[in-house]
Amino acid sequence: MIEEQDEFDGLPYKPLPNCPLCKGCGFLHPRKHSGAIDYRHIVPCAQPGCYRDQAAAYKRGEIVAHSGVIGVKQTFETFNADVKGVRRSYKAAWDIAEGLGAFIWLIIFGGVGNGKTHLLNAIANRVMERGISLRLVMMADLLSELRMAIETNKTDFKMKELKEVPYLLIDELGLEYGTEWEKEKIEELLATRWANGRFTVVATNRDIEELPERLKSRFKDRHLSKCVLNEAGDYRITKNR
């Protein structure tokens, strides 16, 4: 229906230029119950990866933010950048959220409870304010999504979504891949994002030297990446004291 089209107006997405259904238009004329084409109305193209799909993903991002999965109160304004040891990671997070730095990949590593997740949430909130789509996901949840996609035969579709989203933020990146298949999929995901110049931010409690060699080498590329140690202590201990 035409009302369905209005629902998707103004979203920062474009149809697939080579879409086999809409041929890159983004919208289609629906069919009537009789099977005849209804030229009076148009609907968003439902081909996987095309306009309806992208718009729905964007809307899910808004819902996620308001439901608290993305910390709506964890912004750059609420982050205490005066704490000793956080200035460099704060500056790097701000630059990549604004698209100001020369780097497109950022890894923030350091001890537990020192604000890394807050910075990821701050990046997510700022990127959404700029009207850009993103995914912020815990590493364990990301692996769970990929496993579930196997059962529904949607692994390729899920990987495509993760590979092409403009910003991908992964919290608690570790070495716990579980299976060789999971390891291959994560490396495939990150390798594709690297090759296509997609903004990618990860936070980890691991020392960067413990990461897989291919992943570590990308984050150490000084032309496209920034690797920042958050040297602050555990905020939770400070608050309890």
Residue 178: pLDDT band with limits 50, 70, 90: low
Q: Are residues 121 and 174 in the same domain?
A: yes
Residue 192: pLDDT band with limits 50, 70, 90: very high
Which has more pLDDT, 12 or 193?
193
DSSP H or E stretch at residue 134: strand 134-138
| Burial state string for 160-176 with b = 16 or more CB within 10 A and e = fewer than 16 | ebbbebebbbbbbbeee
Q: Are residues 51 and 84 in the same domain?
A: no
Give the mean model confidence (pLDDT) for residues 31-45: 85
Whether 93 shows a pLDDT value over 90: the answer reads yes
* From 81-95, 142-156, 184-198, 206-220, the region with the lowest mean pLDDT: 206-220
Question: By the 8 A CB rule, do 211 and 177 touch?
Answer: no
pLDDT for the residue 92: 92
Q: Kindly list the distances between the CA atom of residue 238 and the CA atoms of 113, 114, 231, in Å, as whole numbers in the listed order.
A: 10, 10, 14
User: By residue range, what is the domain housing residue 47?
Assistant: 1-60
Q: Are residues 163 and 209 in the same domain?
A: yes
Averaged pLDDT score across all residues of the chain: 77
Q: Are residues 114 and 138 in the same domain?
A: yes
pTM: predicted TM-score of the whole model, two decimal places? 0.67
Q: Are residues 188 and 74 in the same domain?
A: yes
Whether 54 shows a pLDDT value over 70: the answer reads no
- Helices and strands per DSSP (H, E), number in the chain: 9, 7
Q: What is the dihedral of CA 68, 70, 76, 77, to 10 degrees?
A: -10
Whether 228 shows a pLDDT value over 50: the answer reads yes
Give the mean model confidence (pLDDT) for residues 190-210: 85
Q: What is the domain-level CATH number for residue 179? A: 3.40.50.300
DSSP H or E stretch at residue 105: strand 105-110
CA distance 115 to 74: 10
Residue 40: pLDDT band with limits 50, 70, 90: confident
Neighbours of 30 (CB within 10 A): 14
* From 13-22, 28-37, 119-128, the region with the lowest mean pLDDT: 13-22
Whether 239 shows a pLDDT value over 50: the answer reads no
Q: What six digits make up the tokens of 104?
A: 């497109």
Q: Are residues 84 and 134 in the same domain?
A: yes
Question: By the 8 A CB rule, do 84 and 130 touch?
Answer: no
Looking at 17, 32, 60, the residue that finishes a domain is 60
* From 108-117, 119-128, 153-162, the region with the lowest mean pLDDT: 108-117
Looking at 13, 33, 60, the residue that finishes a domain is 60
Give the mean model confidence (pLDDT) for residues 115-123: 88
Phi-psi region of 10 (alpha: psi -120 to 50; beta: other; left: phi over 0): left
Q: Are residues 49 and 150 in the same domain?
A: no
Q: Are residues 197 and 221 in the same domain?
A: yes
DSSP string across 195-218: HTT-EEEEEESS-GGGS-HHHHHH
Looking at 12, 41, 60, the residue that finishes a domain is 60
Whether 1 shows a pLDDT value over 70: the answer reads no
Q: Are residues 92 and 186 in the same domain?
A: yes
Q: Are residues 81 and 168 in the same domain?
A: yes
Q: Are residues 49 and 101 in the same domain?
A: no
Total count of domains within the chain: 2
Q: Are residues 140 and 171 in the same domain?
A: yes
